[in-house]
Structure 1
Amino acid sequence: MRLSFLCHEFPPTGGGAASALDHFTRVLVKRGHRVQILTIGLGAKTLRETLDERQIIRYGVGRRSMLSPTTTELLRSYWALRHRSKRDLAEFKPDCSVAFFAFPAGHALLKQRRRLTGPMAVSIRGSDIPGFSKKRWGLFQWLQPWLVRPVLEGADRVFANGETLATLTRAFAPHIAVTSIPNGVDTQQFSPADRAVGAHDGPLRVLSVGQLIPRKQVALLLAGAALLQRPLEITLAGSGPLEEPLKAQAAQLPPPIKVHFCGHTQREAMPQLYRAHDLLVHLSGAEGVSNVALEALASGLPLLATPQALGPEFVGSRGVMVLHDPNEAALAEALLTLDSQRQRLGQMGHEARHFAERFDWQRAAAQFEAQMSRLWLA
């Protein structure tokens, strides 16, 4: 099939959804499909390239932010995906088109003539569905249902990154059929270190990966660490509006606790970053199937996480310790337990890798392929 994908972010911009789109489309090309990606680049210049046999067009709208776009940048992205994509869709002639995020890409794709797009699918990624994160839309929260509902109703297929997002989508639009296709992970790129996690005499090495925003609850990690009466090394990989307040909080921690802010980390550096740590603490208040969680598990890194950061796909993993009541004391107790039981931590790392091997991009691509093939043939 000839497949067009629309998304307002694609590496190097964006976060988990952009990374998922990158991995997903690479696999689809290897499975024999022709792929076009229409997205938004940095700066004002539109760039066209062929990357790993995918046609990638990055519309220039003056975007400056590597991660979350500003409201103005998001609206410009919508305009570009809605209007500037027409010519590129007409030239590519897709058999089917897929929007990553109901807005802006889904709404932009909905406004195109079907003779340009072919059958249309939308993939729900998280912040695009009402009920996921109220703070993400800010003052425009009231507008979100009006933008998202027609996309769900107009799409020929609705996918969601995991059962948590599928459930939210069904709650918002009960009459819409939603298929859960969770993210996968590249288990060759993300692999364990040569020695077991925790197999050293130094402090426990804790990693947190994600934007420094309220939903990720990084402040809770630092507050819990403050109660721990032993040395601890914490690495925060990410950037965001809470960086300065978190640095101020870290400066007040007891001397044995060291916090390293390494900022936004390039994708190619992530495998080694995971392997250099003993534990991933993932306290997000809402996620689909998290790339970070899967990458850490594939790297043999145990997880200490909230239920909201994981979803039902992770139930039963012995590489995960779930913090059912995420508070400072409970977090400190969990860190103390894992630090005191290094052999158990190492076994959790082994189980983490074994569990991650269930999640494969080939499997996700095969699910998607089956759905879109039926739609195309119909």
Structure 2
Amino acid sequence: MPEHDPSTLRVILAAVNANTRFGGEAMLPVHYFRILRERGFDAHLVCHERNREELSSTFPQDADRIHYTVDRRASRRIERAGRRLPTSVKSMSTWLLMSAIAAGDLRRTARALVDSAPAEVVVHEPVPVSPRQPSFLRDVGAPVVVGPLNGGMTYPEGFAHEVRRSERAVRWLVRTCSDVANRLIDGKGRAAVLFVANPRTRDALPRAARGRRVVELVENGVNLSRFAPRTRTPSGNPRFAFVGRLVDWKRVDLLLDALARIPQDHTLDVVGDGPLREALRAQAQRLGLGERVTFHGLSSQDETARLLRGCDALVLPSVYECGGAVVLEAMAVGLPVIATDWGGPADYVVPEVTGLLVPPTNASEMTAALAEAMVRLGSDRALGVAMGRAGRERVLAEFDWERKVDAVTAVYFEILGGHRAGAAVPALNIDTSEGAVAPHERHGQFHRPTPSMR
């Protein structure tokens, strides 16, 4: 890769949410901004004012490079009107309207930063990661990069019956409407490059965006300085952790049922919050797990890393997980992972090498399989240590944030090369054809095909 002077390029990261405490995709813009600034790029972050408190304390030296949009009265009214709607309906109704209002402010701020740039500019929209959600970033006066996107998920067949018929109808309607919305709001159709995390997401792109240049790049990465490996092997009673939002598709209820079936010296730490928190607390009490389960609520990344270093394994029984950054974070710490053989976690975990994958056949069989996997790792700590070591090596090889930013910045400069030459679509020298190596290096002993490739 040719050497480029980072100071010659202004990168404008546009994201409504940019906050590590929010978890999920909101953390992605923060990582990009942090590393780009460390490397000397003229990076700017445009986001909503709700992120001000954390970003001000995290980046005090770059306060003048973070630009906040305000909450408008119309957005507050729309949010109140849609509180009772199902999530799938909100995503293409009230949320879309609120996104349009917020994106208008993001776009205007980004355009002003482009116009004032002393050097060349790329605008990068890392979130939202949904491949079907329209992008409002267009006509900003500079090439736009979107993603990495990650989506195209369905429920496993054994759990599809749990999705209400009304919800299935709404999902079909949302997917149909998304093609229309992306033709009308064609930011993705005009983007210079779309990053996608996997072929599953490529297949889920709206029709209006399928003619753009698509580059495969993993969505998640790990801050290895924060998620350092544990220095001691586990001792005492076997201890497991769940980290994530407490929502229905994470299936923490099955994890509690599994814990109730295994020896009483096995314990569980639940890190995260969500609408099911009280229901899960009540379930734990009914199952007699009051002394074996600790609900920690929301924790910072540093607190989560410390907790994981004291556990035997991470357990993520989600049946609708596009990514699963926590899987990579646990692997970086040196923990084996027990996860569902579906979606993002199945892309990250190598069975019998870095962890154990549980088939999502149905709720009863999955509960039994979770219990069996926990007993196995709880009784054979040498196996868990070996898997944790292999997981750490896999993260170092493929999921380090530094390597991810290497790939992204290479694309930035190639886009600008094509832009200067007047090319409508840049000719990137990264081979992303099927079966080829993506911008992050793959290692054969660890590579696992995504569900859509099976």
Classify the TM-score, shorter chain: 0.7 to 0.9
Q: CA deviation at 1:125?
A: 3.9
Give the Cα separation in 1 of the matches to 2:68 and 2:129. Answer: 19
Distance in 2 separating the partners of 1:377 and 1:164: 29
Correspondence 1:155 to 2:191: yes
Work out the CA distance in 1 between the residues paired with 2:68 and 2:320: 29
Q: How many residues are treated as equivalent by the alignment?
A: 364
* 1:84 Cα deviation from its structure 2 partner: 5.5
The answer to whether the Cα contact below 8 Å between 1:44 and 1:60 also exists between their aligned partners in 2 is no
SS at match of 2:205: helix
- Normalised by the size of structure 2, how large is the TM-score? 0.70
Change (3 A) 1:14 1:132: farther
Encode CA deviations 1:227-277: one digit per residue, 9 max, x unaligned.
Answer: 224322111111111112111111112358611111111223222121121
Residues in 1 aligned to 2:49 and 2:211: alpha-carbon distance in whole angstroms: 36
Which is further off, 345-354 or 48-57? 48-57
Deviations 1:271-312 (A, max 9, x none): 212112111001222334432111111111110011224243
1:33-73 CA distances to partner (integer Å, 9 max, x unpaired)? 2111111232999x989655471123231799xxxx97557
Aligned-pair identity in percent equals 25
Answering whether residue 135 of structure 2 is matched by residue 107 of structure 1, we say: yes
- Structure number, greater radius of gyration: 2
Q: 2:357 aligns with which of 319, 322, 327?
A: 322
Rounded Cα–Cα distance in structure 2 between residues aligned with 1:300 and 1:262: 21
- Contact 2:198/2:217 (8 A) holds in 1: yes
Residue 143 (structure 2) pairs with residue 119 (structure 1): yes
State the secondary structure of the residue aligned to 2:239.
strand
Shift of 1:120: 1.0
Provide closer, same or farther for how the CA distance between residues 75 and 96 of structure 1 changes in structure 2, counting only shifts above 3 A.
same
Tell me, yes or no, if structure 1 residue 96 matches structure 2 residue 135.
Answer: no
Classify 1:24/1:309 alpha carbon distance in 2 versus 1 (closer, same or farther; 3 Å): same
Q: Which one-letter code corresponds to 1:81 in the other structure?
A: A
Equivalents in 2 of 1:31, 1:337: separation in Å?
44
Change (3 A) 1:166 1:29: farther
Match of residue 406 from structure 2: 366
Decide whether aligned partners of structure 1 residues 332 and 289 sit closer, same or farther in structure 2, where only a CA change above 3 A counts: same
Gaps of 5+ in 1: none
**Two-structure CA RMSD over aligned residues (Å):** 3.5
- Given that residues 18 and 51 in structure 2 are in contact (C-alpha distance below 8 angstroms), is that contact kept between their aligned partners in structure 1? no
Give the Cα–Cα distance (whole angstroms) in 2 for the partners of residues 172 and 136 of structure 1: 24
208-217 or 55-64, larger mean C-alpha shift = 55-64
Equivalent-residue separation in structure 2 for 1:187 and 1:136 (angstroms): 40
What does 1:1-378 align with in structure 2 at a 5 Å threshold? Answer: 1-12=9-20, 14-42=22-50, 51=60, 53=62, 55-61=65-71, 75-83=97-105, 85-93=107-115, 95-99=121-125, 100-101=127-128, 107-110=135-138, 113-115=139-141, 118-126=142-150, 129=151, 131=153, 141=174, 143-148=177-182, 150-162=186-198, 164-169=200-205, 175-182=211-218, 183-196=220-233, 199-202=234-237, 204-255=238-289, 258-307=292-341, 308-315=343-350, 318-325=353-360, 327-358=366-397, 359-378=399-418
- Tell me if structure 2 keeps the 8 A contact 1:206–1:233: yes
Question: What is the Cα deviation at residue 372 of structure 1?
Answer: 1.7
Q: Letter of the 1:86 partner, please give it.
A: R
| Equivalent-residue separation in structure 2 for 1:319 and 1:210 (angstroms) | 20
Taking the aligned partners of 1:208 and 1:157, their CA distance within structure 2 comes to 35
Q: 1:293 to 1:84 in 2, by over 3 A?
A: closer
CA 51–17 in structure 1, closer or farther in 2 if over 3 Å, else same: farther
For the structure 1 residues 316 and 176, does the alpha-carbon distance in structure 2 shift closer, same or farther, using more than 3 Å as the test? farther
TM-score (norm 1): 0.83
